[in-house]
Amino acid sequence: MSFATRSLTILLMILVIPACGQVELSCAPAGKVTPICGVQMPEDLAPMPNGGGILVAEYGDGGKLSGELKWFQPEADNGFVSVLNSKDIAKGAAKDWGEADCPVPELLSPHGIHLAQRGDSLQLLVVNHSSTEQVLFYEVQPSGDTNTAPVLSWRGCVSFPENAVLNDVVALPDGGFAVTHMYNRESETMAMIKSLLGLNDGHVWRWHPDSGLQVMANTTAKMPNGIEVAPDGKSIWVNNYIEQELRQYDVATGELLATIEVPNIDNSAWLEDGRLLLASHTSPLTMSSCFGLLQGSCGAPYELVAVDTLTGDTEVIFSAEKGGPFGPATVAIEYQGKLYAGSFSGDRMAVIAR
């Protein structure tokens, strides 16, 4: 996701002449892309079941800013509705899904999110950057009316070591989760340089209610980014941005099961046809104007790549050149037959015609 992209671009800007970008303020459609404005850095998206709308994680630039969790229903005329912010992080006040001693964060600054069934409940996991890196647990209670926002109730959290820099998370069927750790915390530029040199690797953490935190075997990589879980829950797919590889691991053993080459991949989500949809950045050097951008779009180029995880076949289903009212995408999801994309930059998400 955006940390890896930012770090790679910073190094490239140090080593070569920086690229200049032009911010697009217009929210008018262009070609197949229709921007949806009025949201802060919508870095990750999660579709609600049964047409219940889309949950949006407003990126806080790695903890530099506060963010919110928003709800968006394309068919309703109510824009982006706040369902969680820093003032009500722990509303609901239960702590039975995470660690008993996990402290409530003082700041909501979300990154990756994942929505999944947990028994009879609907669970949302949130990577949060505050004074401590944490994964937050929420129970999502649909309103019963698809045009009304759901209610999020606090169910606890898990804290990580001081050197952790988390990115994306997925729920596992055993009540635990897997989350990507990009690199050990230090100066962001130095961490990225060391990662490229193989001196500051990341990995995947696995957490279970009984065994706690463990590093998954064989998951070491320079900057693990997005992560998705297979529909049967037995394996995970990890996006390694710098290695430009999508890797599949067995959840139980950590065995590397498959590797598929895809350039500069950020987040991923399952399509209705069973393929995995990846957001790919086609020109990181053009992204210098994207970082920290709160208004408009930097319009950096990207592709949406569908991967058949059984055969390894890939298909670019959408490609955006530099410029325009949206970009770069960090994630794309399928909702009600349409593609919706989010970005770590700017004030808009987008619907993309297929």
Q: What is the pLDDT of residues 85-103, one digit of tens each?
A: 999 999 886 889 999 999 9
Average pLDDT over residues 338-347: 97
Average pLDDT over residues 99-128: 96
- In the predicted model, is pLDDT for residue 77 greater than 90? no
- In the predicted model, is pLDDT for residue 9 greater than 80? no
- In the predicted model, is pLDDT for residue 1 greater than 80? no
Lowest mean pLDDT among 51-60, 142-151, 197-206: 197-206
DSSP result, 77-119: SS-EEEEE-GGGTTTT---SSS-TTPPPPS---EEEEEEEEET
Sheet strands (E) in 59-109: 69-72, 80-84
Single pTM value for the model: 0.93
Domains in the chain, start-ordered, CATH in brackets? 2-352 (2.120.10.30)
Q: CB-based contacts of 161: which residues, under 8 Å, 6+ apart?
A: none
- In the predicted model, is pLDDT for residue 19 greater than 70? no
- In the predicted model, is pLDDT for residue 183 greater than 90? no
8 band by pLDDT with thresholds 50, 70 and 90: low
184 band by pLDDT with thresholds 50, 70 and 90: confident
Share of the chain above pLDDT 70, in %: 90
CA dist., res. 42 & res. 80, Å (int)? 11
The confidence score (pLDDT) of residue 89 equals 94
Q: Report whether 94 contacts 156 (CB < 8 A).
A: yes
Q: Report whether 341 contacts 352 (CB < 8 A).
A: yes
Q: Which residue has the tokens 């997005």?
A: 226
18 band by pLDDT with thresholds 50, 70 and 90: very low
DSSP bridge partners of 123: 116, 139
For residue 284, cis peptide bond before it (omega within 30 degrees of 0): no
CA dist., res. 128 & res. 115, Å (int)? 15
The confidence score (pLDDT) of residue 323 equals 87
Q: CB-based contacts of 95: which residues, under 8 Å, 6+ apart?
A: 102, 154, 155, 156
142 band by pLDDT with thresholds 50, 70 and 90: very high
Token pair recorded at residue 9: 């671009």
The confidence score (pLDDT) of residue 13 equals 45
